[in-house]
Chain A
Amino acid sequence: MSDAPTTGMSAYDAHGHEVSKFQIYVQIAMLLAVITGIEIVCVYLPFARWLLVSALVFFSAVKFLFVIFFFMHLRWDKPFCTILFFIGLVLAGGTMWALLQLFAAEASRPLTM
């Protein structure tokens, strides 16, 4: 998108055609609503737990990325905004992963259990 004019009014598709941001936003909102519906249906399906957890994490990540890159304009903004936000996101994700690993260890289980 960097070589396309960025007046904030429109985006450009793969063929260089101008696409209204209104259309993009409505399409993404509908997509997010459909993904949410799929997530809700997923939890009632009789599949393996690991498969369902992976699917839910994947769907959440897709929704998350759609919102930050389109609704929050990261797709059209300077890359520094993306880097800045992802620094916080990676630190948060790393902290979560580390905490979950630490507390998953046998030695970390509460004695009262």
Chain B
Amino acid sequence: MSTAAVATIDHHHDPSTSTGIPNKKLIMWAFLASDCMFFGALISTHLIYRLHPPAGGLEPKNIFAPELTSFSTFILLMSSLMMALAVTAIQKGNVKSCRWSLLTTIFFGMIFLGCQVYEFTEFVTVKNMTISNSLLGTTFFTLTGTHGCHVAIGVLWLSLMYVRSFKPAAGNPWQKSWLSHNLLHAGCLIAALLLSLKIVISLVFILKEAPSFGAGFSHFLGAEFIYIALAIVAYGALVWFARPRGAVDFNEVNAIDVESMGLYWHFVDIVWIVIFTAVYLLEYI
């Protein structure tokens, strides 16, 4: 799209709707308003049980790790920054910058999920807190697990949007095979993300139990060789899929799609802001 056309797009007002707001944005805000009530119920359930802890229950101070949670919070805040930059980039028609911002957001989202997987594993295997053996475990895992599911859905949505940004424009010879091509692209991206998560989590746990870094790393390479090889293949395929293939059907007109996804991602961030204070920090006062 030309520069002149860019200037005519008003990303905050849509004269074609009765409200003046793009319908996709309006439905997303309505959904987020309903999700507020959903998380409100989960957070208040946790707080109620914390206000009346059963005798002999688990002590959160002995279970939670504030360093890891603080790191997760910082990562999620930075992912929000990258998401906001992705929206700004596509509103300017800068597809390349938008793709890099989306990839960085996905990367930060995966780090957050990795931290959560590590935290949950520690709680269950080391601290002996499961979803069914204590009220704290029940409310904690239900609340943070639901939030984690939201993050996972957000990462999936971001991944699909990234792949969508490669859809060939009309007249591009790749247009005939874009569906199968993009399905493979999405499959490779999701496989690369899951394999990376598995490899990093395994590395952390192996190094934690190993007598030295060298011994732990050799054991890790032996134990995870197949997964590492598959991840390298998946990342190689991603580089191949991302090669220039002519004009794409993804520009500032699609900004509303990226913005709606961004609203969801930022919402996940604000829910975590509340959870971080209500569930973790208040326990240390």
* Residues of A in contact with B (beta carbons under 8 Å apart): 6-9, 21-22, 25-26, 28-29, 32-33, 36, 39-40, 42-44, 49, 52-53, 56-57, 59-60, 63-64, 67-68, 70-73, 76-78, 80-81, 84-89, 91-93, 95-96, 99-100, 103-104, 109-110, 112-113
Determine if A84 and B285 form an interchain contact, defined as CB atoms under 8 angstroms apart.
no
List 18 extra interface pairs beyond A8-B11, A77-B25, CB under 8 A. A8-B9, A8-B92, A21-B84, A22-B85, A33-B77, A43-B284, A57-B277, A67-B266, A67-B269, A67-B273, A71-B80, A72-B262, A72-B266, A73-B12, A78-B12, A80-B20, A89-B33, A104-B51
Determine if A103 and B66 form an interchain contact, defined as CB atoms under 8 angstroms apart.
no
Determine if B282 and A100 form an interchain contact, defined as CB atoms under 8 angstroms apart.
no
CB closest chain-A residue, reference B273? A63
Tell me whether chain B's interface is mostly helix, strand or loop, or mixed. helix
CB closest chain-A residue, reference B78? A29
A109–B273 Cα distance when bound, in Å, is: 29
CB of B163 within 8 A of chain A?
no
CB of B270 within 8 A of chain A?
yes
Give chain B nearest CB distance to A85 CB in angstroms: 5
Q: Which residues of B contact A53 (CB under 8 A)?
A: 282, 285
Determine if B66 and A40 form an interchain contact, defined as CB atoms under 8 angstroms apart.
yes
Q: Which residues of B contact A28 (CB under 8 A)?
A: 81
Determine if A91 and B7 form an interchain contact, defined as CB atoms under 8 angstroms apart.
no
CB of B165 within 8 A of chain A?
no
Q: Which residues of B contact A56 (CB under 8 A)?
A: 277, 281-282, 285
Determine if A32 and B282 form an interchain contact, defined as CB atoms under 8 angstroms apart.
no
CB of B226 within 8 A of chain A?
no
Determine if A8 and B10 form an interchain contact, defined as CB atoms under 8 angstroms apart.
yes
Instruction: Tell whether A68 pairs with B85 under 8 Å between CB atoms, given A36-B73, A40-B70, A78-B12.
Output: no
Determine if A7 and B9 form an interchain contact, defined as CB atoms under 8 angstroms apart.
yes
Determine if B270 and A68 form an interchain contact, defined as CB atoms under 8 angstroms apart.
yes
Q: Which residues of A contact B39 (CB under 8 A)?
A: 92
Determine if B281 and A39 form an interchain contact, defined as CB atoms under 8 angstroms apart.
yes
Q: Which residues of A contact B33 (CB under 8 A)?
A: 84-89
Q: Which residues of B contact A85 (CB under 8 A)?
A: 29, 32-33, 36
19 contacts between A and B (CB under 8 A): A6-B11, A25-B88, A36-B276, A39-B277, A43-B281, A60-B277, A67-B270, A72-B266, A81-B21, A81-B29, A84-B26, A84-B29, A86-B33, A88-B36, A88-B37, A89-B33, A92-B41, A100-B44, A113-B54
Instruction: Tell whether A110 pairs with B52 under 8 Å between CB atoms, given A67-B270, A76-B12, A84-B30.
Output: yes
CB of B246 within 8 A of chain A?
no
Within 8 A of A (CB), among B11-52: 11-13, 19-21, 25-26, 29-30, 32-37, 39-41, 43-45, 47-48, 51-52
Determine if B255 and A96 form an interchain contact, defined as CB atoms under 8 angstroms apart.
no
CB closest chain-B residue, reference A96? B44
Determine if A92 and B80 form an interchain contact, defined as CB atoms under 8 angstroms apart.
no
Instruction: Tell whether A89 pairs with B19 under 8 Å between CB atoms, given A52-B285, A77-B12.
Output: no
Determine if B273 and A64 form an interchain contact, defined as CB atoms under 8 angstroms apart.
yes
A68–B267 Cα distance when bound, in Å, is: 8
Q: Which residues of B contact A96 (CB under 8 A)?
A: 40, 43-44, 47
CB closest chain-A residue, reference B278? A60
A8–B40 Cα distance when bound, in Å, is: 32
Determine if B48 and A100 form an interchain contact, defined as CB atoms under 8 angstroms apart.
yes
Give chain B nearest CB distance to A79 CB in angstroms: 10
A49–B26 Cα distance when bound, in Å, is: 41
Instruction: Tell whether A29 pairs with B43 under 8 Å between CB atoms, given A72-B266, A78-B19.
Output: no
A101–B32 Cα distance when bound, in Å, is: 25
A71–B267 Cα distance when bound, in Å, is: 10
